[in-house]
Amino acid sequence: MSALNHTPAEESLLAMMPAGEARKHFAATGLPGRKDEGWRWTDLRRVLSAPLEASDPTPPKNIPLAPVPMPEAIEVVFSQDTVASPTTLPAGISITQDEPYAIKGRSEMARIAAALSKSPTTLCIEKSCETPIMIRHVATKAGLSATHLQIHIAANVETVIVETYETHEGVSNALVEYFLAENAKLTRVIVQKGNQAAVVISSSLAILMAGAKLDQTTIGFGAKLARMETKVQHVGVGASAILNGISLLKGKSHLDHTSVIDHIMPGCETRELYKAAITGRARGVFQGKFLVKQGAQKTQAQMAHHALLLSQTAEVRAKPELEIYADDVECAHGNTVGALDDDAIFYMRQRGVSEAQARAMLVQAFLSEVIEQIQDEKIRQQFETLVGDWMGAQI
């Protein structure tokens, strides 16, 4: 045991974790918090101080409705460490419980999720499928729920996966790892919702082989503490990734969008755009890092984060970062934080629009740049509805 002064929560986590490298590492480091550079604005160690218990593995009798209704989707539900999936799946799609694919360099919470999960669920997609796959992470009971999912997408396959993180109670810690073979294309949509008492942690990794394409869009509403972490590794020549996201935060909710994009091979491309609208006493965090290795010549990478503070007590912390070891690249990042334009609100009020409606219209126009990039019309409409519902509750 390390000399680290463990909190009651850390002691209980140690008791749950099986012997191995993950437990040994956790004993020495504990939960991440403000002393850890990547977590200094999302102090998980402070929020999780009381002892933790494993969530009751019995699935709830009634799973709440999904935040994005998609009746045509193939639905897979993770709830209290159990998996429910259709008995019959389309040809080329399989779900099994397999031995984990070894991954080095997992983040802190990813290691914990992998260690606490009995065995990872493996989703293999070997043929393109027009029907979206909907993966729901549902936590409805107190305690800690940990899940581990590995998704393999075969060469030249195209697929759409919608992930929802629905934490109604307790602590949810999910690890999702994607492996995209040559020229595979993944459209990944993430919807995060949690109440003001829940803690939501999502750690995801996408490994892209040559010519693989990832198009990811996230919308998050925060929780007592929520962190949506995405890591991408361009391990094949000509791989590309688009990461876009929206944060809609109110009350005392907290949402941390963290991404690390590792450019390893030449000719890869990344575009990243995140926007946030924050009101009440809520806090948003954006941390984005582009790492360009020495051999990753001809990399093209653009990152931007923009936030609107809609109240005097709202907060946002942002840290865009470039770390470049190649000399033939085109990389840039930008960050802005501001408030609504009073002149624009005045102009609209002079034309018969109420102040509340004017504010809502300006926020929706601000967020539209992200929504308009969603290629799938049905998913784009779902995002528009989610934004409209959130704005409607504010006016």
DSSP state of 90: -
Residue 102: what pLDDT? 62
Q: Which amino acid is at 370?
A: V
Q: Which amino acid is at 164?
A: T
| Span 76-116, pLDDT tens digits | 998 866 788 888 899 999 998 876 666 777 888 999 999 99
Most confident of the ranges 18-22, 116-120, 236-240: 236-240
**1 pLDDT above the threshold of 80:** no
| Span 42-86, pLDDT tens digits | 999 999 989 999 888 777 778 888 899 888 899 999 886 678 888
Task: Tell how far CA 306 is from the center of its chain.
Answer: 18
Provide mean pLDDT across the span 118-138: 91
3-state SS, 333-395, equals EEEEEECCCHHHHHHHHCCCCCHHHHHHHHHHHHHHHHHCCCCCHHHHHHHHHHHHHHHHHHC
Provide mean pLDDT across the span 207-216: 98
Mean of all residue pLDDT scores within the chain: 92
**3 pLDDT above the threshold of 60:** no
**2 pLDDT above the threshold of 50:** no
* Helix axes 21-29 and 8-16, enclosed angle (nearest 10): 170
Is pTM, for the whole model, over 0.85?
A: yes
* Helix axes 108-116 and 21-29, enclosed angle (nearest 10): 140
Q: Is 218 helix (H, G, I), strand (E, B) or coil?
A: strand
